[in-house]
Amino acid sequence: MQIATVVARYGVNETRFANDTWGWVAPLGSETFLQRDNKVLMAAAPRNAAFLSEKVQKEGLKSLQTSMAFFNYQQPAPNWEIYADGRRITKLPYVSRAGVKIAIRDGATFFAVTPLPGTDLGGGNTVVLREGTAQEWNKITFKPALVIDSYNLRSERPIPNPDWNRIYKAFGGFALELADSSDYPSFEQFQEHLARSVVQTQFESPANALASYKSGKDIFGTKRSVVGEELKLVDPKVNGHAVFLPKGLLRDTTTSVQGTAATIEKLGAVLRGDDGRMKFLQVEPKSNTFVGWNPLPDLAKYSLVVPGGIKIQSDGRIGLTKVQINPRENRVAVTHAWREGQERDPAAATALVLTGFNAPPSVELNGINQKDIAMRTILGANAYLIPLQPTMKSITEMEKALAE
């Protein structure tokens, strides 16, 4: 949106978007998301926990729903346009059914919402678009400009004897998509794209409950299960490929990777160290800059190789370290710190060994330009040394350490 916040939650009776206390909203449901780029498949379910049962005991049970709130800060009022299955909505509330294709145009921004067909506990799969209700916390009023409720249960009167076994097996959700005029020349073309999208769900067997979303060339699919109180994705895939990262990787983006595997790689750069130790590797392709981190103050092996053959290794275990290499500028910048006493460890490194350079590199250590960098022949190659301790190992000791 132009200036907007979107919040999605599971709710009971009326979905709560304002805080219940400092930094916290009672988790009456569990939500999980499968996202790639500008598309999201969201699944939600009631939470089998005291929060839900206590609320029902206090208020009764009239509805269960997955809700999405749009906070629009345009003054005096939002001038967006809202459509359902291609028809302009001019008055709220507006009632429809699960699967309805909701499209919102706010200036050059386009937003799509498709409520998933979910478990029908009575009046379910009804979808209501409405103005948000003001909610207060700590004398602060929260009022969404638009709320979309997709119901599992909807009743005018409190349900006298809720079937908790069915309730805890219920689920709902949304398929979401965000785009703008750079993605689609017109809002009408975005709507045509949305009309061709497909959502499917299967929930008769809770053990095999699944949801899928086909949008353009992308296909999102996942099974789901409840582990404890939490809703979990099971075997989620995008375009047939598993989305969970391999063991040892925690984050992976187009230009960076973080993990505890012995080796992590990104765009031709390879960072090696101890298996189980955290590592972080960043690449900025335009400037041809590579950054490898030992991001925690624990002694660890270190080896960074970048495209073209430049290699920086430690002759032992290093402390907290950031090594930045720019081959195009023939420049290396190192930030390194020992935790108290680490430098006296017998396995501690005494130097970083730089190989693969065609000319002596410009070197900076802890913000200070290094002059007269020592050069040695190590393992048959010209090597430049960045000292990490007052006394460095002998060539023989370095070669032995590097070979390990």
DSSP conformation letters of 162-207: --HHHHTT--EEEEEEEEETTTSSSHHHHHHHHHH-EEEEE-SSGG
Q: Give yes or no for a contact between 36 and 28, defined as CB atoms under 8 angstroms apart.
A: no
Alpha carbon of 332 to those of 141, 304, 327, 338: distances in Å?
53, 12, 8, 20
In this structure, what token pair is assigned to residue 2? 């132009």
User: What gap in Å lies between CA 94 and CA 100, rounded to an integer?
Assistant: 12
How confident is the model over 58-76, as pLDDT tens digits?
999 999 999 999 998 888 8
Can you give the pLDDT of all 404 residues of the chain as single tens digits? 455 789 999 999 999 999 999 989 999 999 999 998 899 999 999 998 888 889 999 999 999 999 999 998 888 888 899 999 999 999 999 999 999 999 999 989 999 999 999 999 999 999 999 999 999 999 989 899 999 999 999 999 999 999 999 999 899 999 999 999 899 999 999 999 999 999 999 877 766 789 999 999 999 999 988 888 888 888 999 999 988 888 999 999 999 999 999 999 999 999 999 999 999 999 999 999 999 999 999 999 999 999 999 999 999 999 999 999 999 999 999 999 999 999 999 999 999 999 999 999 999 999 999 998 999 999 999 999 999 999 999 999 999 999 88
* pTM across the whole model: 0.71
Query: Using omega within 30 degrees of 0 as the cis cutoff, is the peptide bond preceding 76 cis?
Result: yes
User: What gap in Å lies between CA 237 and CA 244, rounded to an integer?
Assistant: 8
Q: What is the pLDDT of residue 1?
A: 46
- For the chain, how many helices (H) and strands (E)? 4, 34
How confident is the model over 291-337, as pLDDT tens digits?
999 999 999 999 999 999 999 999 999 999 999 999 999 999 999 99
Positive or negative, the Cα torsion across 202, 238, 7, 87? negative
